[in-house]
Amino acid sequence: MTPCRVRFAPSPTGHLHIGGARTALYNWLLARKMNGTFILRVEDTDTERSTHEYTASIIEGMKWLGLNHDEGPYFQMQRMDVYKAHVEDLMKRGLAYKCYCTQEELEAKRQAAMKEGRKPKYDGKCRELSAIPQTPDPRPFSIRFKAPVEGTTIVHDIVKGDVSFENKELDDLIIMRSSGTPTYNFTVVVDDVEMKITHVVRGDDHLNNTPRQMLMYQAFNYPVPMFAHLPMILGADKKRLSKRFAATSVLEYKAQGYLPDALLNYLARLGWAHGDQEIFTLKEMIDAFDLKDVGKAAAVFDPEKLKWVNSQHMLKFSDEEVFEMTLPFIEKRGLKVTDRSMGIKAVASERERGKTLDELSEISAFYFHDEITYDEKSKEKWLNDDGKKTLSLIAGRLSQIVDFSEHDISEAFKKLIDETGKKMLDLAQPCRVALTGTTVSPSIYIIMAILGKDVVLRRLNKAFQ
């Protein structure tokens, strides 16, 4: 059996985005499942839009996700001699020809076809010129692949099933531009042949390219790889995924405090299912993954579902580990954690609410601020004259506690409720605003015990003065 060899072939004309990351993941999972080889190939022949910045971003994104490649990265711009040799081979065998049609001529033909309701395709004007003896022609030329004009090309797709294309509808593609640079459909095939690719797993927007590429695989006497065209990923508006619904780069998810395994877990489930299981470790994904379980219908990207998946992965880590992961996000807010033990408790107290590391750093930031900024509505409602009197009363009682523990703080509040007849809400909310700046937080007893007596009394005193 031929060893499985797959490739992820991004174009460095942009960052590694959600769709590309899912394609990379499915290829990686297939390679790991089949003990195969995962190849990273950078398709950088679009010299006008490709940049070193995007290349570095893609490689960094792959590294952060843990999608380590076994070969590469290969760069197409470093393989020009390989493409030229394959063009010459096709020319010698009569499977490619020179085309002298200018861009103006081709555009005129395209406009005429569209006006007449015909499919715009090359009319084969130069197809047989090479068979006619002639003196060398000084005009610039491109080179086209001579595709068969009869018969049917059937794409056997693992996801889509069999898809038929009539060869008469497939025109002779340009494989080498007049500038001497090869085209996408040609370089893809040459690279797949040279790298012995066995499975081509990519988005279904490439499906229409596949029959043309299959004809070229056959022209090179290379076995046609197995194809799997993945369903589209749509935004919440059921349209093609855009910046509005998903970050433009997977590295933005890193910056937002998502865990790489959680993002991979979520991406895997955008089109693939294994029973009702939602949360997977990498090993579980590798063991369960099968391209036959990839659905045909488009998947919808749900940011809230991604947050939930991330929160489930965060549960796998200890309080200490979550604190260490959250610390850089706390420091990015200009805050310092001088007491590690207190920091661990502080972050742990918010774990149920914070679904990303950045959210955790945001909602636990009040623990590390020197001065609290009050939410105006909360201040108006709870730090009014009555609230300040309540805080003064609470501060006096708390100052008498020797062991500033959750238990003793709780007992102090219970006695105040009995003595004053106030509800817990009327005592806790002014404290919560004074200590955190808002009315939403963990238990007031937990907050006070973590902050410590001195900080609590200082914040309460400031609030009621």
Listed in sequence order, the residues at least 6 apart from 443 whose beta carbon sits closer than 8 Å to its beta carbon are 406
- Domain 376-464 belongs in CATH node 1.20.1250.20: no
CA distance 246 to 103: 38
Q: Which of 125, 168, 239, 243 is catalytic?
A: 243
Q: In the chain, pLDDT over 90 holds for what percent of residues?
A: 87
Active site residue 115: no
- pLDDT score recorded for residue 131: 54
CB 364 within 8 A of CB 330: yes
- Are residues 124 and 147 in contact, defined by beta-carbon separation less than 8 angstroms? no
- The predicted-structure confidence for 373-393, as pLDDT tens digits, reads as follows 999 999 999 999 999 999 999
Outline where 269-405 has alpha helix (H): 282-288, 303-314, 319-332, 340-349, 357-363, 376-382, 385-398
Residue 304 — very low, low, confident or very high, per pLDDT cuts 50/70/90? very high
Q: Is the pTM of this model over 0.95?
A: no
Residue 217's alpha-carbon distances to 61, 153, 198, 277, in angstroms, are: 31, 12, 12, 39
Is residue 435 predicted with pLDDT exceeding 80? yes
**Domain over 82-176 is classified CATH 3.30.9.10:** no
Structure confidence by residue, pLDDT tens digits, 329-374: 999 999 999 999 999 999 999 999 999 999 999 999 999 999 999 9
Contact between 185 and 212 under an 8 Å Cβ cutoff? The reply is: yes
Right CATH number for 319-367 from 1.10.3470, 1.10.1330, 1.20.1070, 1.10.8? 1.10.8
Helix axes 385-398, 453-464, angle to 10 degrees: 150
CA distances from 415 to 389, 405, 449 (A): 17, 16, 18
User: Whose structure tokens read 């693992």?
Assistant: 158
pLDDT single digits (tens) 114-159: 888 888 889 889 998 855 555 677 889 999 999 999 999 999 999 9
Tell me yes or no: is domain 1-76+231-302 CATH 3.40.50.300: no
The residues spanned by each domain of the chain are 1-76+231-302, 82-176, 319-367, 376-464
> Do 24 and 62 contact (CB within 8 A), yes or no?
yes
Q: For residues 312 and 137, give the distance between their C-alpha atoms in angstroms, rounded to a whole number.
A: 67
